[in-house]
Structure 1
Amino acid sequence: MTTALCPGSFDPVTNGHINIFERTAKIFDQVIVAVFNNIRKDSFLPIQERLELLRSSTAHIKNITIDSFDGLLADYVTAKNADIVVRGLRDQNDFFYETSQMLMLKRMAPQVESVYLMSEHQYSYVSSSAIRELVNFHGDIKGLVPRCVEKAVKAKFG
């Protein structure tokens, strides 16, 4: 059984993320979506709320587990016996960033392989940071995030 891990901050989860999870679930036996506390970013939503929104947004995917972790990805991947780390890429900037991250992961956990999935074109411009900016300026996020995320963000931030 092959276990794939999709790590990220998912702050908030977008329809682009969900698309990557759905596609990953078709390829691998088990998928773990793991929310990590990104020390480089200020949180928009608390981790517990992100976990709840991820569970709601992915309820239709039968071979998925939602989890969270602190610390090094290499330690988490090893603890979960994951074989693969899957990262979604929107553009060449994501590729360059993710390549350096995955090279470090390979150094620390050489048994783990990395797989990149390109975003489908309709999601290539959607990012969590863009969603946060839209929310900050009262922009419309409908269609960019799952409905439960849209409702939660509107309830929280007006």
Structure 2
Amino acid sequence: MNKILISVATLLFVTACATTEANMSNNPNIVTVKDIQHHNYILAEIDGKTYRTAKNAMSPNISFGEKMHVSGSMCNNYFGQGELKNGVLTVKALGMTEKFCADRTLNNLDRKIGQLLSDGAKLTLDNDGQNLTLSNASTTLKFALKDYVN
């Protein structure tokens, strides 16, 4: 009898976990690692305003590698080990190069991306997965999918 109860309890637990995972991956409002891993996104908007890269300049970006390694550039390059939980991305030990950029907007973006990733940024993807938004109470950065390899 005990073996049957343990088997039933285990089955219920596994089913509940699988259902929760399935609900999260089917919920378009919750971004998962699978949704963003191995993708590169370039900056398209800052707080609702279109961002245009200066001619011959690299576009600010964010990329997601193996095991949620986050990297990218604004004025400076940044990198760190990310954690994605319930659609919120956090990079606690964010590293960043420290050069001065003549473009004030890019210097300001270094601060914004650092704050977003350190404090936790809510991630959203549009329906076709082409636009990724990182946001908190004061900043919204929208990125367009631009993978290195199509």
Same fold (TM over 0.5): no
Q: TM-score, normalised by structure 2?
A: 0.25
Higher helix share: 1
User: Bigger radius of gyration, 1 or 2?
Assistant: 2
Compare the two structures and name the one with the higher strand fraction.
2
Query: Which TM-score applies when normalising by structure 1?
Result: 0.25
